[in-house]
Amino acid sequence: MEPRSLFGKILMHTIIIVLVLIWVVPTLGMLISSFRPASEVLNTGWWTVFKSPLEVTHLTMENYDTVVERAGMGLAFRNTFIIASLGTLIPVTAAALAAFGFSNLNFWGKKIMFGIIIGLIVVPLQMTFIPVLRIYHQIGLSGTFLGVWLAHTAYGLPFAVFMLHNFFSALPRDLFEAAYIDGASVFSTFFRIALPLSVPAIASLVIFQFLWVWNDLLVSLIYLGGTRDVAPLTVRLASLVGSYGQDWHLLTAAAFISIVVPVVVFLGLQRYFVRGILAGSIKS
């Protein structure tokens, strides 16, 4: 192996290891701190757990019990899961149907409609808050899960259509033409051919949309407000900072509760992630 190539590989692996440590070390510290009592959190650093492993019995679930029962994080977790589930399913389903139509069907005004949808990507969300919120107040959708589902669908749909359109456009046209010759309908072609082939792209889109909705604070705060019955984790975390600013050991427990599901989703779908991002970048 040439010295230059060897140096390049060593440098690349060093950079990767450093980036991994930058992400893992704070997360590990937050996890350990979430199990430590307040007295130890205020007096010693989280790394002291490794210096004195015999004192590991000092770890406790008290922080989680306090956060779930007193701060309402259990209810907020349920609300966030409900919001993120349908806030991902609805736009991904609609985007898949729309992207397939724009890439494989011919109809009047297709290019104009597609251009308008893609143009909506650059429209700032903040411009829509006041008019949409007024409409929600008039029709009774303010402070409801349905209202925030529709909002996340509208905000996520342009990018979702753009991403899936690139993938569907890269699929061989011969597959669809052969299906049409055999008598398959448009919906049958979509569900039996296009959809199975688009699993990597859809999985990548699910990751993007789910993480955005799960971590969203602004949209939920605008359309749901701070009502405890429907408030998601991000809204409850924001109020927790205001209520327990001194008891930041509770924030570590609350924050770790909020990141568990996104990490599981990402790790579960990571094998599709790169394939989905690269899909459609090169036409077949």
> Does residue 277 carry a pLDDT above 60?
no
Q: Domain spans of the chain?
A: 3-60, 71-278
For the segment(s) 71-278, the CATH number from 3.40.50.1220, 1.10.3720.10, 2.40.50.140, 3.50.30.10 is 1.10.3720.10
Q: Which residue has the higher pLDDT, 59 or 138?
A: 138
How would you label 43-79 residue by residue, b for 16+ Cβ within 10 Å and e otherwise? eeebeebeeeeeeeeeeeeebbebbbeebbbebbbeb
φ/ψ of 270, rounded to 5, equals -65, -30
Query: Token pair 């989280």 is at which residue?
Result: 46
Query: Torsion angle, CA of 147/208/32/57, rounded to 10 degrees?
Result: 80
> Does residue 278 carry a pLDDT above 70?
no
pLDDT over 70 for what percent of the chain? 88
Q: What is the pLDDT of residue 241?
A: 65
Mean pLDDT over residues 54-63, rounded?
Answer: 68
The answer to whether 206 and 269 are in contact (CB under 8 A) is yes
> Does residue 71 carry a pLDDT above 80?
no
pLDDT over 90 for what percent of the chain? 19
If we measure between CA atoms, which residue out of 149, 229, 164 comes closest to residue 197? 164
pLDDT tens by residue, 203-230 = 888 888 998 999 888 898 899 876 778 8
Q: What is the pLDDT of residue 172?
A: 80
Mean pLDDT of the chain: 82
Q: What is the pLDDT of residue 263?
A: 82
Q: What is the pLDDT of residue 7?
A: 74
Give me 255's structure tokens.
């924050």
Reported pTM:
0.80
* Diameter over CA atoms, the chain: 74
Q: What is the pLDDT of residue 246?
A: 60
φ/ψ of 274, rounded to 5, equals -65, -40
**Least confident stretch, 14-18, 37-41, 233-237:** 37-41
DSSP class of residue 166?
H
pLDDT tens by residue, 163-215 = 888 888 888 888 888 888 878 788 888 888 888 888 888 888 888 899 899 98
DSSP class of residue 182?
T
Q: Which residue has the higher pLDDT, 46 or 93?
A: 93
Which of the given ranges, 2-6, 13-17, 34-38, 69-73, has the highest pLDDT on average?
Answer: 13-17
Q: What is the pLDDT of residue 57?
A: 53
The rounded distance, in Å, linking the Cα atoms of 30 and 40 is: 14
Q: What is the pLDDT of residue 52?
A: 63
* Alpha-carbon distances of 191 from 86, 92, 195, 226, 255, rounded to whole Å: 20, 14, 5, 40, 39
pLDDT tens by residue, 81-128 = 999 999 999 999 999 999 988 888 888 888 899 889 888 888 888 889
The rounded distance, in Å, linking the Cα atoms of 58 and 65 is: 16
> Does residue 38 carry a pLDDT above 90?
no
